[in-house]
Amino acid sequence: MSGKATLYGGTDMSEGALERDIVADMTSASGGWIEGSSQAYDRGHAIDTEQLKAFLQETQPDVAAAFELDNSKSETRAKFLGRVQGYITTYGVVDLLRKGMNHSTTTGAYEVAFYGATPSPGNAVAEARHSANLWSVTRQLRYSQDETHRALDLVIFLNGLPLATFELKNNQTKQTVEDAVEQFKNTRDHRELLFKDGRCLAHFAVDEHSVRFCTQLLGTKSWFLPFDKGWEGGAGNPPNPDGYKTAYLWREILSPTSLTDIIEHYAVRLVVKDPKTKKTTRSQIFPRYHQLDVVRKLLEDSKAKGAGQRYLIQHSAGSGKSNSIAWLAHQLVSLGTDDSPIFDAVIVVTDRVNLDTQINRTVMHFTQIRSLVKHADKSKDLREALANGTKIVISTVQKFPVIVEDISHTLRDRNFAIIIDEAHSGQGGKTTHAMSSALGVESEGEEQETTEDKINKIIESQKLLTNASYYAFTATPKDKTLGYFGGGGRDKKGRPFHVYTMKQAIQERFILDVLKHFSTVDSHYKLVKRVEDDPEFDAKKAAKKLRRYVEGHDHAVKVKASIMVDHLLDHVIRPRKIGGKARAMVVTDGVKRALAYHAEINAYLKKLGHPYRAIVAFAGEHEYGGKKVTEAGLNGFPSSDIEETFREDPYRILVCADKFQTGYDEPLLHTMYVDKTLSGVRAVQTLSRLNRAHPDKHDVAVLDFSNKTDAIKTSFEKWYRTTVLADSVDPNKLHDLRAVLDSAGVYDQSDIDEFVEMFLDKEPRSRLETLLDQLVVAYQQLDSEDLQVEFKGKAKTFVRNYDYLAGILPYRNPEWLKLSILLTFLIPKLPAPIEEDLSRGILETVNLDSYRAEQQKAISIALGDEDAELTATNPGGGGHHSEPELKPASVILADFNQNFGNIPWNDKDRIQQLISVEIPAKVRQDKDYRNAQQYNDEQNARVESDAAVRRAIGSFLQSDTELYREFMGNPEFQRWLTETVFRETYDPSAEADESSEPGGL
């Protein structure tokens, strides 16, 4: 313990010194704690009887006297302590602190309070009881009933009831927080009374640098979660100028004031009964640092600024947003005073059907008002809920605009908190208008409104409300999400209010790194021409069709299905991943392919004699195998049961067509087989289905049949750390866009005014259609198809960007709104220019000659370590008409087989392919080389080109060692190759690398 830690009689650097420093901090004048005695701890009841007696004698002297607490040998006292112990065993210490307990003796029945809750203003009795709370910390607590020499470093108590235990470790003696975790797991018997479920709020493992905690000790299966602040976008804690990095734990989080807040608003003892098995499970919930931090900061800012704020919370997928939302919703309701609440109601907008159950369970632990939470599916549900005093209303993104359409006048004087679960484009533009109209911008008593009055009212309704605050939670904010909600109360526009990064969550092992074991599966195939003549086709479109034809071919699906099943059996099921409970998901690019995979996977499993089966997930009714099929019909159980049934044998594979690729939270998912092109936010959301942690889950795997590692890496880097908006949309470009539309001659100002007036006056639809049809004729009379394409594309761009800007611009522009109204109804009627599909018929000219798939070695995709900037969508864009590149079918097949097929070549042909195609392609895409071409001279660009060639050669080391050896060992060949590639790729007009994803939220 000591040794070199106290070398030369200097400062004590031992674990004991850390323990003493913590207790000294806690028991200081500002700490609020008193030091307890290990001798006062009753090991048979897990209670500090001296502290409990002192609290009861101070606050309820009649109870203390009746229970004979001064007499350690009293049977009455023993029965009382035994009942306390039994109550905690059944309901948990949190329940006992909040509700108290009834207990009877020969002298009568008593209602016993074990804790003085935060008093309401003016309640003198409650204030006295609250000030009597005894917060005590005991060092070296001998806890064991059998082995009395066993002791815990620290235990904290509230009025004699244990709240948390601590194991401390010291880096100076070569021990860390991980050793503390192992001590809890391996040398602390979880069957001891103090360690039993519900006896404490949490168990903490602590060293000078890091904190971890567990709410239920289960021996070696104990699951410790991180409790660090985070540092430089990742795990860890920032340097502390006033002492230990982890001092925030005992100085801030575990201060009496903070613990009071946690007990009253966060700590939850969940009791859930399985409707099928009837088995009851209990679990203790304690907030993680980032959850506690974000809710407290949101409440503090909301209390200071009132309604009308915007907050964007960027928390990684799998980081516990549901609990954060539940805690926030419950406390926003009570923000302010009873006479003057800041918010009259909280509306939670979500796509997750189980979130209302979770919020209801959480809130019900803090209130006895059973009508507090309601799920609203219809407009009358919302009206009735608010009329009945319901404080939290939950609705879906799809339903919410419909619900609020009917509400016009009754809510204008109320304030609302709108919590958005996974914010996206549905919360901007027209949906914002629907929300705003419902929640209070309408005015009563206005008669004979002019068109101008109506236009001004719509403009106001399009803006985010002044009588509502928005709390938008998302793991992957896009540019418009940052524009709408970023800024933390409008003062830092374009930046999240609070961040818990994917990087930190992965490094803390709270979620798993889905890119750690990423394998691509390369397709090897050859197509042959089956017709004698050689017709010409659009090469680009034909290549896409050929690719889809090959990958969706019955034979290809059969081959890939067998690879998936073999991998599942060999690498997931037989190694008993996740304790033998691991599941897999197949992500497909459509219902047809999902149905084919489902059939082939089940057929192959049956052929191998395995009992496992696949479930298929898709929407609607489709034709397959000559008959109509539905999800429920193929699976043999209702669609609503998929999530629950998937956790049961024999089901091990979930085959999906769009469903379950976002918002699906299943810790048993271990492996994903991807046969769908993914990019941007869709790639992150889909692959993140794997990242949910589980005590027995130590890794995950991805087999990707469709995407390349570079594309996946680019997608994830946008949301690996904090995501910010680099700039904003320039409203002047909307003026320019309107000028182009006006000059096309499709409409004039009188057309706009007439249509908008008829629309707002609710004229018969036939009159509006007549005017729109006249404008369609004018559109069709434009001089060329290119002008039609340009007009329609710019019209769409104008409407999309106006919807966005209307919500965030501080000024009005009625003319923009009027044009947007007209274009919104005109665009769907504008026929697309008749464009002949010059790739039509390509599939009739080919046969699949051969197909095989080969899994590549798994790699770990490393992500960049810097914040990502998204660039706002440029409203100046529009449609364009590209000319097709016509090529004979024979040339298209040759190009296709060469560039996509990866047919087994002989060495000479393979090297020729690498030199002429693949290496130049990689060099052209090299970020540093592209930037050098634009910003540096030719000499510097040449240096970057040579470096890019080396990187490209290195990437082929595993598959093409002959080329690598020649390049590294033959200087003449190396000079020739780098010169050749530079001549082919150098283009000083090339655009620099600016990775951003346009459009959308």
Structure confidence at residue 706 (pLDDT): 84
Distance linking the first and last C-alpha atoms of the chain: 56
Count CB atoms within 10 A of the CB of residue 96: 21
Q: Which residues contact 495 (CB under 8 A, 6 or more apart)?
A: 312, 482, 486, 487, 488, 722, 724, 725
Domain boundaries defined on the chain: 3-265, 287-500, 520-744+782-889, 905-1001
Q: Among 32-41, 205-214, 266-275, whose mean pLDDT is lowest?
A: 266-275
Structure confidence at residue 438 (pLDDT): 46
What gap in Å lies between CA 360 and CA 447, rounded to an integer?
Answer: 43
Q: Which of 349, 324, 347, 332 is nearest to 498 (CA)?
A: 324
Structure confidence at residue 649 (pLDDT): 94
pLDDT mean over 316-320: 82
What gap in Å lies between CA 333 and CA 352, rounded to an integer?
Answer: 21
Determine the CATH number of domain 287-500: 3.40.50.300
pTM of the model: 0.76
Residue 457: is its pLDDT beyond 60?
Answer: no
Q: Which helix (H) or strand (E) holds 426?
A: none
Residue 523: is its pLDDT beyond 50?
Answer: yes
Count CB atoms within 10 A of the CB of residue 662: 19
- 996 contacts 871 by C-beta, under 8 angstroms: yes
Q: Choose the most confident range, by mean pLDDT, from 271-275, 296-300, 359-363.
A: 296-300
Residue 406: is its pLDDT beyond 60?
Answer: no
Give me the count of residues in the chain. 1001
**Each residue of 230-263: b (16+ CB within 10 Å) or e?**
beebbbbbeeeeeebbbbbbbbebbbeeebbbbb
Residue 597: is its pLDDT beyond 90?
Answer: yes
pLDDT mean over 624-628: 89
What gap in Å lies between CA 896 and CA 902, rounded to an integer?
Answer: 9
What gap in Å lies between CA 941 and CA 332, rounded to an integer?
Answer: 57
Which pLDDT band holds residue 530 (cuts at 50, 70, 90)? Answer: low
- Kindly report, residue by residue over 27-66, the tens digit of the pLDDT: 999 999 999 999 999 999 999 999 999 999 999 999 999 9
- Kindly report, residue by residue over 671-683, the tens digit of the pLDDT: 999 989 888 888 8
Structure confidence at residue 384 (pLDDT): 79
Structure confidence at residue 493 (pLDDT): 57
Q: Among 119-123, 243-247, 863-867, 944-948, whose mean pLDDT is lowest?
A: 863-867
Structure confidence at residue 230 (pLDDT): 93
In the three-class reduction of DSSP (H, G, I as helix; E, B as strand; rest coil), residue 664 is classed as coil
Q: Which of 976, 987, 867 is nearest to 932 (CA)?
A: 987
Q: Among 569-573, 655-659, 762-766, whose mean pLDDT is lowest?
A: 762-766
Q: Choose the most confident range, by mean pLDDT, from 141-145, 468-472, 594-598, 892-896.
A: 594-598
Residue 489: is its pLDDT beyond 80?
Answer: no
CA 678 remoteness from chain centre: 17
Q: Among 341-355, 649-663, 870-884, 933-947, whose mean pLDDT is lowest?
A: 870-884
What gap in Å lies between CA 168 and CA 162, rounded to an integer?
Answer: 18
pLDDT over 70 for what percent of the chain? 73
pLDDT mean over 457-476: 70
More confident residue, 959 or 181: 181
What gap in Å lies between CA 137 and CA 165, rounded to an integer?
Answer: 10
583 phi, psi to nearest 5 deg: -120, 165
What gap in Å lies between CA 537 and CA 844, rounded to an integer?
Answer: 12
pLDDT mean over 366-375: 64
**Each residue of 624-653: b (16+ CB within 10 Å) or e?**
eeeeebebeebbeeeeeebbeebeeeebbb
Q: Choose the most confident range, by mean pLDDT, from 511-520, 827-836, 917-926, 936-945.
A: 511-520
Q: Angle formed by the axes of helices 451-462 and 749-760, to 10°?
A: 80
**How far apart, in Å, are the Cα atoms of 627 and each of 639, 657, 658, 933?**
19, 19, 22, 57
520-744+782-889 is classed in which CATH architecture? 3-Layer(aba) Sandwich (3.40)
Tokens 């024979």 sit on residue? 890
Per the prediction, the chain carries an average pLDDT of 80
Q: Which residues contact 511 (CB under 8 A, 6 or more apart)?
A: 316, 317, 318, 319, 502, 505, 688, 691, 692, 693
CA pseudo-torsion sign 785, 787, 793, 796: negative
pLDDT over 90 for what percent of the chain? 38
Residue 226: is its pLDDT beyond 80?
Answer: yes
- 519 contacts 825 by C-beta, under 8 angstroms: no
Question: DSSP secondary-structure letter at 587?
Answer: E
Structure confidence at residue 995 (pLDDT): 40
3-state helix, strand, coil in the chain (%, to 5): 45, 20, 35
Q: Among 665-679, 762-776, 881-895, whose mean pLDDT is lowest?
A: 881-895
Q: Among 36-45, 419-428, 709-718, whose mean pLDDT is lowest?
A: 419-428
Question: DSSP secondary-structure letter at 957?
Answer: T
- Kindly report, residue by residue over 78-112, the tens digit of the pLDDT: 999 999 999 999 999 999 999 999 999 888 899 99
Structure confidence at residue 429 (pLDDT): 45
Tokens of residue 153, six digits: 């470093």
Structure confidence at residue 870 (pLDDT): 60
What gap in Å lies between CA 890 and CA 906, rounded to an integer?
Answer: 22
Longest dimension (CA), the chain: 107
Residue 272: is its pLDDT beyond 90?
Answer: no
Structure confidence at residue 338 (pLDDT): 74
Q: Choose the most confident range, by mean pLDDT, from 607-616, 703-712, 718-727, 855-864.
A: 607-616
Question: DSSP secondary-structure letter at 717?
Answer: H
More confident residue, 444 or 216: 216
Count CB atoms within 10 A of the CB of residue 28: 11
More confident residue, 874 or 34: 34
CA pseudo-torsion sign 646, 652, 655, 660: positive
Q: Among 228-242, 356-370, 646-660, whose mean pLDDT is lowest?
A: 356-370
Structure confidence at residue 366 (pLDDT): 61
CA pseudo-torsion sign 275, 279, 285, 288: negative
What gap in Å lies between CA 771 and CA 829, rounded to an integer?
Answer: 12
Q: Which residues contact 584 (CB under 8 A, 6 or more apart)?
A: 564, 568, 572, 652, 653, 654, 669, 670, 671, 672, 673
Q: Which residues contact 900 (CB under 8 A, 6 or more apart)?
A: 523, 543, 547
- Kindly report, residue by residue over 631-655, the tens digit of the pLDDT: 999 999 999 899 999 999 999 999 9
The HSE-up count of residue 63 (CA atoms within 13 Å, CB side) is: 22
Q: Left, alpha or beta for 243 (phi > 0: left; psi -120 to 50: alpha)? A: left
Residue 160: is its pLDDT beyond 80?
Answer: yes
Structure confidence at residue 342 (pLDDT): 93
In the three-class reduction of DSSP (H, G, I as helix; E, B as strand; rest coil), residue 747 is classed as coil
Which pLDDT band holds residue 222 (cuts at 50, 70, 90)? Answer: very high
Q: Choose the most confident range, by mean pLDDT, from 191-195, 339-343, 431-435, 510-514.
A: 191-195
Q: Which of 109, 117, 126, 114 is nearest to 88 (CA)?
A: 114
Is the peptide bond preceding residue 650 cis, with omega within 30 degrees of 0? yes
What gap in Å lies between CA 238 and CA 684, rounded to an integer?
Answer: 28
Structure confidence at residue 765 (pLDDT): 84
Which pLDDT band holds residue 707 (cuts at 50, 70, 90)? Answer: confident
Q: Which helix (H) or strand (E) holds 670?
A: strand 669-675
More confident residue, 895 or 392: 392
Q: Which amino acid would we find at residue 390?
A: T
pLDDT mean over 169-189: 91
399 phi, psi to nearest 5 deg: -80, -30
pLDDT mean over 220-243: 92
Q: Among 172-176, 382-386, 755-759, 795-799, whose mean pLDDT is lowest?
A: 382-386
What gap in Å lies between CA 141 and CA 149, rounded to an integer?
Answer: 10
Structure confidence at residue 667 (pLDDT): 93
Residue 382: is its pLDDT beyond 60?
Answer: yes
Structure confidence at residue 705 (pLDDT): 84
Three-class SS of 495-544: CCCEEECHHHHHHCCCECCCCCCEEEEEEEEEEEECCCCCCEEEHHHHHH
Strands 621-624, 669-675: pairing kind: unpaired
Q: Left, alpha or beta for 212 (phi > 0: left; psi -120 to 50: alpha)? A: beta
CA pseudo-torsion sign 547, 552, 557, 563: positive
In the three-class reduction of DSSP (H, G, I as helix; E, B as strand; rest coil), residue 617 is classed as strand
Whether 287-500 and 520-744+782-889 share one fold: the answer is yes
Which pLDDT band holds residue 446 (cuts at 50, 70, 90)? Answer: very low
pLDDT mean over 944-963: 75
Q: Which amino acid would we find at residue 386?
A: L
Q: Among 350-364, 816-830, 920-934, whose mean pLDDT is lowest?
A: 350-364
Residue 846: is its pLDDT beyond 60?
Answer: no
What gap in Å lies between CA 679 and CA 709, rounded to an integer?
Answer: 11
More confident residue, 847 or 248: 248
